[in-house]
Each structure stands twice: as C-alpha cells, then as structure tokens.
Amino acid sequence: MNRINQKFKSLCELKQKAFIAYITAGDPNLAITEKLVHALEKVGVDIIELGVPFSDPMADGPTIQAASERALKNNVSLTDILAMVSRIRKTSQVPIALMTYYNPVFHMGDEQFVAHAVKAGVDGVIIPDLPPEEAVGLRKYSLNAGLSTVFFMAPTTTNERLKKIVQTATGFIYYVSLTGVTGARVSLSKSIASDIRRVKRLTAKPVCVGFGISTKDHMRKVGKYADGVIVGSAIIKEIEKNIGKKELVANVSGFVQGLVNALRKV
C-alpha cells in the first residue's frame, strides 16, 4: 500500500477529510519548495501535489502559469524535482503526487519515468492532458510499481465516462469543481454537492475536489461531501505575495494552516 492509499485509510478511520496542497516545484526556487513541503506537512497537509513547471499548460489559470514561468526561469526540470523528492524522503514520509503535463514524461519515457519517480519516493502522478485511453503504457508500469495514477472528472463528464474513469484511476479521483482553468474563485458551483454525490455513487475510491477552492468557507462546504479538498492557486498567490521575504515559508504555511483547521471542523 503506497503512502496515498495509506493516508486515505488512516483519515477514513479518523473520519477526517484529506487536505491536498498544490505548489509549483521551483517557485520561487527549489530550496524554498523543499522547505515548504516540510512546513506544510507540519501544519497538517495530508498530501503534497508538486507541480512540474511546463511552458504550455492547458488546465492552469494565470496564477499557476506565472508560478511555472518563475520556475522555468530557474531552469527547473523534472530530473531536478525528482532529486528534490529524494532529499525530502530522507526526513519525511508525506504522500507526494506529481502534477505534470505529458510532454516531460514522454520525453523521459513512460517506463523510465515511473521507475525514477518511484525510486525518488513519488506516490502518484496526475497528468491533465493524458486521458485514460492514452495512458495504457503508463498505467501498466505504474500498477506494477505501485504508483497511483489519478484521472480527472468534470461537471460535464457523462455517467458512461465516469464509470470508465473510476475503473482506471488509482489513489483517488480528481473532481474538477468547475468548467474552466485553475484559479481561486469567490463562490463555488451551486450543484457541487449533487455533482460529488453523482461520482461517489459510482465508486468507493476517494473523491477529491479541486479548481477554484480558496477559502475556509469552501473547505467547510466541499468537505461535507468530498473525501478530500485540493487547494492550489490560493497557496500560489500567498507564495507570490511573499517572494523575497524571509518569512515566506512561515507566512504561507500559516495561511494553509487556517484552511486545514477549517477542514478539520467538518
């Protein structure tokens, strides 16, 4: 059982929901990313989603695009990120999933990517532009190596396709709460509760909700129905606000702790 599966098992026993934090690896640099991973674990984050910076993202809004640009200016590569995960593993067992577009994986090769990721201590992979039908090779190597492959669902996904996705996904289901790209939103979709229930009727696998979630009120609303909540752009904004400050890690982890505490009260 990899760390992601073990985490959901433990949270289920505690009747708690997972807090998944997304940060772009290398924003503003890899040294700070590494410190942030440890700090976020200390304030209660259950799973870390590390974004692999990419020049042509299709699912990311302006906030995460800007974070990727900052990381790419530092020439941060997939290899650099895997080396960082290896260092993190010397002192931490927090579950880590890589959020990457397929191009860097394709360049490395599916089999080599899975082998290197697992060796480094990565627990799962999320690839927005790789649907299950095109992920046969990656899934085969991942299943053999114990690497979770997380796939997306959206409000527009049909029930027929939902069934296919829940059969192929491992680790958890990533439910996109809205139609559009990533980015903090003021309000959530009015149908989010019924949307989550629709997915959960088809699977016993954990269903985690992301895109647009940014406030304590969002934590409480989504946490009532989902198995986990994913926050990305709101955290990236805090990083951006604190670039150049000695208190960056403390300020960002403090902001995240407030969201974690709100989720724990659900």
Catalytic center residues: 49, 60
Residue 227, helix vs strand vs coil? coil
Amino acid at position 47, single letter:
I
- Measured in degrees and rounded to the nearest 5, phi and psi for residue 162 equal -55, -45
Place of tokens 């209660």: 44
Q: Enumerate helices (H) and strands (E) in the chain, giving the number of each.
A: 12, 9
The residues pairing with 148 across neighbouring beta strands, listed in sequence order, are 124
DSSP 56: S
The amino acid at residue 167 is Q
Residue 242's contacts (CB-CB under 8 Å, 6 or more residues apart) are 248, 251, 252
Cβ-count burial 190-200 (b if 16+ within 10 Å, e if not): eebeebbebbb
Cβ 204 vs Cβ 170: under 8 Å:
no
Say how far apart CA 64 and CA 233 lie, in whole Å: 6
Q: How far is Cα 252 from Cα 221, in angstroms, rounded to an integer?
A: 23
